[in-house]
Structure 1
Amino acid sequence: MSKLRHMAEMPLPLFVADPADQDVQIVPAIPQGARLPSYIKDHRKRLRARFNDGGADAMPDYELLELVLFRAIPRQDVKPIARALIDAFGDFNRVLSAPAARLSEVKGIGEAVITELKIIEAATHRMARARVIQRPVLSSWDSLLDYCHTIMAHRDTEQFRVLFLDRKNTLIEDEAQGTGTVDHVPVYPREIMKRALELNASAIILVHNHPSGDPTPSPEDIAMTKQVEQAARALSLTLHDHLIIGKSREISFRAEGLL
């Protein structure tokens, strides 16, 4: 971490963003021991009150980010940093799911902020997973779709996951089988089948995301699904579905007649 970036979260005077770089001006931190200006103190109090009264729905994304940043950067006006994050990544969800390396490129973002964001991301994933793991998948399909969108819809690279089900179609395991580039992830049917046998699974569901946001299956997606289906059939396993997750919707191979 550069010295400049590290100082962004220390209680010492900070840099001011170069106007030639971007419009966002990073306000210096208040030295330790000095009183917080009323405009910062009162602003934080108002935002917390609005959240307590109306919840997240009452707040735009950048204000929700401010609430997160309050903990990581306790002695600084964080509104410019929150706006810079939204400008860089688009929305709150994409900020949370952004890789640490890309987050660190935003002025004012250091290790404490990245850790705070990643803790929240991990918490949302764990909560979503708790709603589907060890539960019958076919009777909690909406929860399963919510889970897949939570963990995959805002990734900027493709990820391929396999959901392993038992004889009662209860989800017994969810595993990432691979991560690739913005438009490709390698898939190995033999490894999927090997893992299914290790888990004593009876059925599987394939899931991967399209970082472009468009879940329309490619010819390669269709061909790969056929390969996995053939391998599963040879081992008396059922391929229930292949879900492609886009930013705001998903495609089901089963519903589209592709399985």
Structure 2
Amino acid sequence: MNHDRTRRLRSILYVIQQLDEFSPTTAKLQCSDATPAYVTRVLKQLAQAGHLDRFQEERQEVYRWSKSKPLDPDQWVNQQVYGDQVKQSPEQDRPREQLMLHGPSSLTDAQLLAILIRVGVPGDSAVQAGRRIANQFAETALSGLPDASVSELRLISKAIRKDSYAQIMAGVELGRRIAMLRDQNTKAPVRIRGSEDAIQYCMKAFHRLAIDGKQEEFHIVTLDTQLGPIRTHHITTGTLDASLVHPREVFRAAIRDSASAILLVHNHPSGDPTPSREDRAVTDRLSQAGELIGIRVLDHIVVAKERGRSVLAG
């Protein structure tokens, strides 16, 4: 997209720079590859930037190149396409180059965000956007960033679009997962010995689901003989219903993991973790199936924004 816009702007500039003085009509005729409306917009932008002087001659609008503010075509095109972009900064100040030279730990939060945002808009570069977002969340040391919606970040910077928002959130989630794995490796092994342990574990392991889940999702956590988590499995999405959560799908994953027991987990997007009648029905059905197979259903945890609840503990 940026490449096409750059090409179109340069083609128009190439034509009109050959003209010392010209009317909008002449420019449109000469720039036959571009639409008249696009040529008009380019002329207005050049005039607003002071590169073209505009005056009336025999009842006709005429443009003349300004002698007081000569045009640098490449610089002007880059400004229109990228705004105050990273690539226009000195190389040593560009976040990507700095990361490659000195490592990611040398970058500020704003610079790391700029790399994830990648491309800005005219008047709001990726670097500027990164700085604004970092400043906005500075009081919470960026801890509030994972919970921000795309519309909330758009209020901070117009450079945030769906793709840049997705890149930021992907980076946040990847960092969270790595941190969780490191945390698990440095601490004593997790053991789920009761409902409180199960709630605490699930609120951490399914934090994003509890906070951002727009639909109900049903997951299981397979457990080893010491009741330590093996891995999580997403079973189904949609309103929890005993007819939708089939024991075959649940215990297939448990058998594959050689699990001794499982935790059932799902979210309540409403924010209220109080177990419903259907939640209890699903728990009973899967518990009975587990007894037949020899894989115990240790608990069923409902996660929500503020807290979690155990279906079995009530």
TM-score calculated relative to the size of structure 1: 0.60
- Match of residue 228 from structure 2: 170
- Tell me, yes or no, if structure 1 residue 190 matches structure 2 residue 241: no
What is aligned with 2:129? 78
The letter of the residue matching 2:261 is: A
Equivalent-residue separation in structure 2 for 1:175 and 1:239 (angstroms): 15
> 90, 109, 114: which is aligned to 2:161?
109
Equivalence for 1:219: 277
How has the CA–CA distance of structure 1 residues 121 and 136 changed in structure 2, closer, same or farther, with 3 Å as cutoff? closer
Cα pair distance change 1:92/1:73, threshold 3 Å: closer
- Decide which of 167, 170, 175 is 1:123's aligned counterpart: 175
Report the CA distance shift for 1:73/1:253 in structure 2 as closer, same or farther (over 3 A): closer
**Aligned match of 1:95 in 130, 141, 148?**
148
What CA distance in whole angstroms lies between the structure 1 residues aligned with 2:131 and 2:203? 31
Q: Please give the per-residue CA displacement for 1:169-219, whole angstroms capped at 9, x wherever unaligned.
A: 121221111223xx4474221211222222221111001111121111222
Distance 1:13 1:112 in 2: 20
**Do the aligned residues in 2 keep the contact of 1:129 with 1:147 (CA within 8 Å)?**
no
> Do 1:206 and 1:243's aligned partners in 2 also have CA atoms closer than 8 Å?
yes
Larger radius of gyration, structure 1 or 2?
A: 2
Q: Give unmatched runs, 5+ long, in structure 2.
A: 6-77, 91-104, 119-124, 138-143, 151-157
Which position in structure 1 is the counterpart of 2:219? 161
> What TM-score, normalized by structure 2, do the two folds share?
0.51
User: Any idea what SS the aligned residue of 2:305 has?
Assistant: coil
Please give the residue correspondences for 1:115-154 in structure 2 after superposition, counting only pairs within 5 Å: 115-128=167-180, 131=183, 135-138=189-192, 141=197, 144-154=201-211
CA RMSD, aligned part only? 3.9
Deviation at 1:111, TM superposition (A): 2.7
**Cα contact 1:132–1:171 (8 A) shared by 2:** no
Aligned residues: 196
**Residue matched to 2:67:** none
CA distance in 2, matches of 1:255, 1:130: 31
Is 2:313 the partner of 1:255? yes
Q: Any unmatched runs of 5+ in structure 1? A: 15-27, 37-51, 53-63, 99-105
Structure 2 Cα separation of the partners of residues 216 and 252 of structure 1: 9
Structure 2 vs 1, CA of residues 80 and 231 (structure 1 numbering), >3 Å: closer, same or farther? same
CA–CA separation in structure 1 for the residues paired with 2:181 and 2:236: 19
Look up the match of 1:30.
Answer: 84
Q: What's the CA shift for 1:94?
A: 2.9
For the structure 1 residues 198 and 149, does the alpha-carbon distance in structure 2 shift closer, same or farther, using more than 3 Å as the test? closer
Give the CA deviation at 1:229.
Answer: 0.7
Quote the offset at 1:121 in angstroms: 1.1
Quickly say closer, same or farther: Cα 1:201–1:35, change in 2 above 3 A. closer
- 1:31 and 1:69 map into 2 onto residues whose CA distance is 14
- Please give the per-residue CA displacement for 1:126-161, whole angstroms capped at 9, x wherever unaligned: 433554589342269275134234242122222211
* Higher helix residue share: 2
Q: Any conservation in 1 of the 2:224–2:261 contact (CA below 8 Å)?
A: yes
Give the corresponding residue for 1:13: 80
State which of 87, 108, 113 in structure 2 corresponds to 1:69: 113
Farther-moved stretch of structure 1 (133-142 vs 121-130): 133-142
Go from structure 1 to structure 2 and tell me whether the alpha carbon gap of 1:129 and 1:79 turns closer, same or farther (over 3 Å shift): closer
Could you tell me how far apart the structure 1 residues matched to 2:246 and 2:181 are?
24
Conserved? CA contact 1:81–1:108, under 8 Å: no
Closer/same/farther in 2, CA of residues 208 and 12 from structure 1, 3 Å limit? farther
- Write the distance in 2 (CA, Å) between the matches of 1:69 and 1:225: 43
Equivalent position of 1:102 in the other structure: none
